[in-house]
Amino acid sequence: MSPASRKNPTMNIELAALESELAYRGPERRGGEGAGLVRLMASVLDEVDYGLMLLSANALVVHANHAALRELGSNHPLELRSRRLRARDSHEQQTLGEALDAARHRGARCMLNLGAAPAARIGLSIVPLPLPLSNSASGNAVLLTLQRAQLVEKLSVGAFARARGLSQREEEVLTALCEGLRPTQIAERMGVAVATVRSHVHNLKEKTHCNSMVELVKQVALLPPMVTALKNSPLMS
């Protein structure tokens, strides 16, 4: 039993219920308190603004949240195939497989960078969890976290803009700043003069009480996530 479990017996009960429910494949799975706990856990993962995948000790993907499913397109170095996570490149598949095995069987944590082209490279963390989530294998379940595709989600920028009373054009400028664009690039995108963009930036700093664009972008980047749900994805089939 882990030190955290000894301090909190309720955690042990909840984790045991979750393990039992995820491991069971019978027709009664949709009923009962355990099923509700599983649905709650999946809902929580779906609201996190990072791609998250939960793998059982037998390497099956138990759940991939909406952010992960959104990221795993044809150009992503990872893919889901028959509920198993694989690297598209055969050499990187060996690296990924070894890291997942080390997490499942030895409890080893690690971070990887995958992808051939520099622009397409992504980082991911591999973290062992204290349960197998499988009746057919012992060891650790694994939580895999993908690197975020962008610094700030548009929903978060929109919520921030409404809370600060920003105009639509000021919100557009703020969104572009969070994408890493320079004032000249923003002016070209919006079809306005650079001086107009600088005026919007000045107003943004005034309304948000920030002294610089860096401080402004940092303030938005630290906001809690507001994730757009991606439903009915075929990637988990």
Q: Which two tokens stand for residue 86?
A: 């694989």
> Tens-of-pLDDT digits for all 237 residues of the chain?
444 444 444 445 445 555 555 555 555 445 555 556 667 877 888 888 788 999 988 888 888 888 888 888 778 899 988 889 999 888 899 999 999 999 999 999 999 998 877 667 888 999 999 888 777 778 899 999 998 766 667 777 888 899 999 999 999 999 899 888 999 999 999 999 999 999 999 999 999 999 998 898 888 888 776 655 444 444 444
> Tokens 């069987």 correspond to what residue?
105
CATH number (1.10.10.10, 3.90.1170.50, 1.20.140.10, 3.40.50.1820) of 154-221 reads 1.10.10.10
DSSP per-residue codes, 83-97: TEEEESSHHHHHHHH
Q: What is the CA radius of gyration of the chain?
A: 22
Going from N- to C-terminal start, the domains of the chain cover: 3-149, 154-221
Record the pTM. Answer: 0.66
Helical (H) or strand (E) element with 170: helix 168-178
* Rounded alpha-carbon distances, angstroms, from residue 39 to 35, 45, 64, 158: 6, 10, 13, 29
Contact criterion met (CB below 8 Å) for 14 and 37? yes
- Three-state SS across 19-70? HHHHHCCCHHHHCHHHHHHHHHHHHHHHCCCCCEEEECCCCCEEEECHHHHH
For residue 211, the 8-state DSSP code is S
Q: Which fold has domain 3-149?
A: Beta-Lactamase (3.30.450)
